[in-house]
A and B are shown apart, each in its own frame.
Chain A
Amino acid sequence: MATSSIMESLFQRSLDDLIKAIRLQMIGESNFISKSLEEIRKELKSTDPQTKSTALEKLIYLNSLYSIDMSFASFHVVEVMSSSKFSHKRIGYLAASQSFHENTDVLLLITNQLRKDLNSSNEFEVSLALECLSIIATHDLSRDLTPEIFTLLSSSKLFVKKKAIGVILRIFNKYPDSVKVAFKRLVENLEGGFDQPVMSAVVGVFCELTAKDPKSYLPLAPEFYRILVDSKNNWVLIKVLKIFSKLGLLEPRLAKKIVDPICEHMRRTTAKSLLFECIRTVVTCLTDYETAVKLAVEKIRELLIDEDSNLKYLGLKALSILGSKQLWTVVENKEAVIKSLSDADPNIRHQSLHLVMAMVSEDNVTDISRVLLNYALKSDPQFCNEILGSILSTCSKNDYEVIVDFDWYVSLLGEMSRNPHCQKGVEIEQQLVDIGQRVKEVRRELVRVARDLLIDPALLGNPFLHRILSAAAWVSGEYVEFLKNPLELIEALLQPRTNLLPPLIRAVYIHSVFKVLVFCLHLFFVRKHVTSSSLDGLAQGMYDLDAEREFPEGPSLVRRECSSASFDCEQDEEFKPIIQNITGEELTIENGGENLVAFEQVSLSTSFAKDPSNHESIVGLIDLIKTALSPLSGSDEVEVQDRARNVLGLIELIQRETDGWLIQMEDSFKGGKVKALKMIEILHGAFSVKIGPVLRTSQERVPVPEGIILNDNLADLDSICGDILSPPTSAFSMGNRLFGENYGNSSLDLQKKEESEPSTESTSLLAEHRKRHGLYYLSAEKTEGMSNDYPPPNDLQSTVDIGDGTQDLLKITDQSLSSKRKPKHSKPRPVVVKLDERDEKPVSSVKPLKDSEHDQLSGAVRNILLGEEDTSASSLTKPSDKSTGKRRVKELSSKSESRPEDKLGDAAPEVGGSSSFRRSKHRSRGKEREKSPKNNDENKEGNSQKDKRKSHQHSRNRTRHRADLPLNVVAQTPVIPDFLL
Chain B
Amino acid sequence: MIRAVMVMNTQGKPRLAKFYDYMPVEKQHELIRSVFGVLCSRAENVSNFVEADLIFGTDTRLVYKHYATLYFVFVFDSSENELAMLDLIQVFVETLDKCFRNVCELDIVFNFSKMHMVLNEIIFGGQVLETSSTEVMKAVEEITKLEKASNAISLVPKSVSSWQN
Q: How far is the CA of A85 from the CA of B13 in the complex (A)?
A: 33
Residue from A84, A86, A94, A310 in contact with B47 in the complex, judged by beta carbons closer than 8 Å: A310
Interface residues in B58-114 (C-beta closer than 8 Å to A): 78-79, 81-84, 86-87, 109-110, 112-113
The answer to whether A85 and B150 touch across the interface, beta carbons within 8 angstroms, is yes
Of the candidate stretches A202-210, A323-331, A946-954, the one touching chain B is A202-210
The answer to whether A69 and B25 touch across the interface, beta carbons within 8 angstroms, is yes
User: Least Cβ distance of B21 to chain A in Å?
Assistant: 8
By a CB distance below 8 angstroms, the chain B residues around A201 are: 127, 129
The answer to whether A67 and B26 touch across the interface, beta carbons within 8 angstroms, is yes
Is A312 in contact with chain B by the CB < 8 A criterion?
A: yes
* 0/1 string, B102-146, CB within 8 A of A gives 1: 000000011011001100100011111111000100010011001
Determine the residue in chain A with the shortest Cβ distance to B14.
A65
Q: How far is the CA of A88 from the CA of B113 in the complex (A)?
A: 12
The answer to whether B83 and A272 touch across the interface, beta carbons within 8 angstroms, is yes
Given A57-B113, A86-B147, A208 and B127 contact (CB-CB distance below 8 Å): yes
Determine the residue in chain B with the shortest Cβ distance to A276.
B83
The answer to whether A124 and B143 touch across the interface, beta carbons within 8 angstroms, is yes
Chain B interface category by residue count: 35 or more
Residue from B16, B47, B125 in contact with A166 in the complex, judged by beta carbons closer than 8 Å: B125
The answer to whether A276 and B130 touch across the interface, beta carbons within 8 angstroms, is no
The answer to whether B129 and A16 touch across the interface, beta carbons within 8 angstroms, is no
Q: How far is the CA of A131 from the CA of B45 in the complex (A)?
A: 36
Number of A-B contacts (CB under 8 A): 159
By a CB distance below 8 angstroms, the chain A residues around B1 are: 208
User: Least Cβ distance of B89 to chain A in Å?
Assistant: 12
By a CB distance below 8 angstroms, the chain B residues around A134 are: 124-126
User: Least Cβ distance of B165 to chain A in Å?
Assistant: 7
Given A102-B22, A163-B124, A67 and B28 contact (CB-CB distance below 8 Å): yes
User: Least Cβ distance of A40 to chain B in Å?
Assistant: 15
Q: Most chain-B CB neighbours within 10 Å: which of A69, A134, A276?
A: A134
Given A85-B160, A346-B46, A314 and B129 contact (CB-CB distance below 8 Å): no
By a CB distance below 8 angstroms, the chain A residues around B47 are: 309-310, 312-313, 345, 347-348
Determine the residue in chain A with the shortest Cβ distance to B63.
A310
Determine the residue in chain B with the shortest Cβ distance to A136.
B22
Q: How far is the CA of A123 from the CA of B54 in the complex (A)?
A: 41
Is B164 in contact with chain A by the CB < 8 A criterion?
A: yes
Determine the residue in chain B with the shortest Cβ distance to A100.
B22
Interface residues in B10-37 (C-beta closer than 8 Å to A): 13-17, 20, 22, 25-26, 28-29
Which applies to chain A's interface (DSSP): helix, strand, loop or mixed? helix
Q: How far is the CA of A731 from the CA of B142 in the complex (A)?
A: 69
Q: How far is the CA of A204 from the CA of B124 in the complex (A)?
A: 11
User: Least Cβ distance of A5 to chain B in Å?
Assistant: 12
Interface residues in A224-239 (C-beta closer than 8 Å to B): 234-235, 238-239
Residue from A167, A197, A277 in contact with B135 in the complex, judged by beta carbons closer than 8 Å: A197
* 0/1 string, A143-181, CB within 8 A of B gives 1: 000000000000000010011001101100000000000
By a CB distance below 8 angstroms, the chain B residues around A50 are: 154
Residue from B22, B84, B147, B160 in contact with A87 in the complex, judged by beta carbons closer than 8 Å: B147
Determine the residue in chain B with the shortest Cβ distance to A104.
B22
The answer to whether A121 and B125 touch across the interface, beta carbons within 8 angstroms, is no
Given A135-B125, A310-B48, A347-B50, A15 and B79 contact (CB-CB distance below 8 Å): no
The answer to whether B17 and A309 touch across the interface, beta carbons within 8 angstroms, is no
The answer to whether B45 and A94 touch across the interface, beta carbons within 8 angstroms, is no
The answer to whether B20 and A135 touch across the interface, beta carbons within 8 angstroms, is yes
* 0/1 string, A113-138, CB within 8 A of B gives 1: 00000000110100000110011100
By a CB distance below 8 angstroms, the chain A residues around B79 are: 207-208, 211, 239, 242
Is A927 in contact with chain B by the CB < 8 A criterion?
A: no
Determine the residue in chain B with the shortest Cβ distance to A242.
B79
Determine the residue in chain B with the shortest Cβ distance to A69.
B25
By a CB distance below 8 angstroms, the chain A residues around B109 are: 19, 23
* 0/1 string, A408-433, CB within 8 A of B gives 1: 00000000000000000000000000
Q: How far is the CA of A207 from the CA of B143 in the complex (A)?
A: 30
Is A747 in contact with chain B by the CB < 8 A criterion?
A: no
Given A15-B112, A169-B125, A347-B46, A86 and B150 contact (CB-CB distance below 8 Å): yes
Is B53 in contact with chain A by the CB < 8 A criterion?
A: no
User: Least Cβ distance of A821 to chain B in Å?
Assistant: 36
Interface residues in A53-94 (C-beta closer than 8 Å to B): 57, 60-61, 63-65, 67-70, 84-88, 90-91, 94
Interface residues in A284-339 (C-beta closer than 8 Å to B): 309-310, 312-314
By a CB distance below 8 angstroms, the chain A residues around B124 are: 130-131, 134, 162-163, 166-167
By a CB distance below 8 angstroms, the chain B residues around A345 are: 43, 46-47
The answer to whether B129 and A122 touch across the interface, beta carbons within 8 angstroms, is no
By a CB distance below 8 angstroms, the chain B residues around A60 are: 112-113
The answer to whether B84 and A238 touch across the interface, beta carbons within 8 angstroms, is yes
User: Least Cβ distance of B17 to chain A in Å?
Assistant: 6
Given A134-B125, A197-B130, A344 and B45 contact (CB-CB distance below 8 Å): yes
Q: How far is the CA of A309 from the CA of B42 in the complex (A)?
A: 13
The answer to whether A204 and B128 touch across the interface, beta carbons within 8 angstroms, is yes
Is A898 in contact with chain B by the CB < 8 A criterion?
A: no
Residue from B110, B113, B120, B161 in contact with A131 in the complex, judged by beta carbons closer than 8 Å: B120
Is A101 in contact with chain B by the CB < 8 A criterion?
A: yes
By a CB distance below 8 angstroms, the chain B residues around A344 are: 43, 45-46
Is B49 in contact with chain A by the CB < 8 A criterion?
A: yes
By a CB distance below 8 angstroms, the chain A residues around B130 are: 162, 197
By a CB distance below 8 angstroms, the chain B residues around A635 are: none
The answer to whether B49 and A347 touch across the interface, beta carbons within 8 angstroms, is yes
* 0/1 string, A432-471, CB within 8 A of B gives 1: 0000000000000000000000000000000000000000
Is A763 in contact with chain B by the CB < 8 A criterion?
A: no
Is A200 in contact with chain B by the CB < 8 A criterion?
A: yes
By a CB distance below 8 angstroms, the chain A residues around B86 are: 273, 310
Q: How far is the CA of A69 from the CA of B23 in the complex (A)?
A: 11
The answer to whether A273 and B22 touch across the interface, beta carbons within 8 angstroms, is no
Given A64-B17, A85-B160, A169 and B127 contact (CB-CB distance below 8 Å): yes
By a CB distance below 8 angstroms, the chain B residues around A136 are: 22
Q: How far is the CA of A90 from the CA of B147 in the complex (A)?
A: 9
Determine the residue in chain B with the shortest Cβ distance to A166.
B124
By a CB distance below 8 angstroms, the chain A residues around B163 are: 86, 122
By a CB distance below 8 angstroms, the chain A residues around B110 are: 16, 19
Q: How far is the CA of A169 from the CA of B128 in the complex (A)?
A: 13
By a CB distance below 8 angstroms, the chain B residues around A131 are: 120, 124-125
Determine the residue in chain B with the shortest Cβ distance to A201.
B129
Q: Most chain-B CB neighbours within 10 Å: which of A102, A167, A273?
A: A273
User: Can you add 11 more A-B contacts, CB < 8 Å, to A86-B150, A344-B45?
Assistant: A15-B113, A63-B25, A85-B150, A124-B142, A124-B143, A135-B22, A166-B127, A204-B127, A273-B86, A310-B48, A347-B49
Residue contacts A-B, CB under 8 angstroms, 25 given: A15-B113, A65-B14, A65-B16, A67-B25, A69-B25, A102-B22, A124-B142, A131-B124, A135-B20, A162-B129, A166-B125, A166-B127, A167-B125, A169-B127, A204-B128, A207-B79, A238-B81, A273-B84, A276-B83, A309-B46, A345-B46, A345-B47, A346-B42, A346-B46, A347-B47
Q: Which 5 A-B pairs have CB atoms at the shortest separation, nearest pair first? A: A134-B125, A273-B83, A345-B46, A101-B22, A67-B29
